[in-house]
Chain A
Amino acid sequence: ELKVEQNPLFLSMQEGKNYTIYCNYSTTSDRLYWYRQDPGKSLESLFVLLSNGAVKQEGRLMASLDTKARLSTLHITAAVHDLSATYFCAVDRGSGGSNYKLTFGKGTLLTVNP
């Protein structure tokens, strides 16, 4: 059974600081996703990582994937208040091709303080 662990679960940081959220998973997978969720809202797709060593960046967020270590990171650079949200990583259960069935981590509630 695929298990996905995120840490930290809660993150309070000051504006302008950097931090990293970690996502570990237990079995082989070819696809890892990062999503953002604002309170009461659905999920917004941030990144999809498809191969070992993949790195993607969008604004102040950068995601990377190490399939050998079964680890993905979401790095936040110079945080701003607008980044406050819950961030989920999700791992596709398929191997050798997506079957779209995702197992989600518990999420990281990020609060960026002025």
Chain B
Amino acid sequence: DSGVTQTPKHLITATGQRVTLRCSPRSGDLSVYWYQQSLDQGLQFLIQYYNGEERAKGNILERFSAQQFPDLHSELNLSSLELGDSALYFCASSVEPENTEAFFGQGTRLTVV
């Protein structure tokens, strides 16, 4: 158990819908990262927050957004969902913003039908 908690574990939704994925980082970790894992694109970095502020941005679509709350948990919002958004979404956390020894959660498997 990495100490990073993601909910829900599985999510099935229809195209055009909006979903929210939640992540609780390890106790004491200030930095949260979101990754998308799909068969054709592998593991792709989406976005990073550190202590509530956006720190780094990857290939995150405009339909996707994230935030980190004062209690350090983070949410990834995916809207206007398309079939191609079906993937595993991972959250990771680390103490420092430099991504050293980032610990990953178990992921949320999103299926868009």
| B is bound to A | no
Which residue numbers of B lie inside 8 Å of A, CB to CB?
A: none
Chain A residues within 8 Å of B, Cβ to Cβ: none
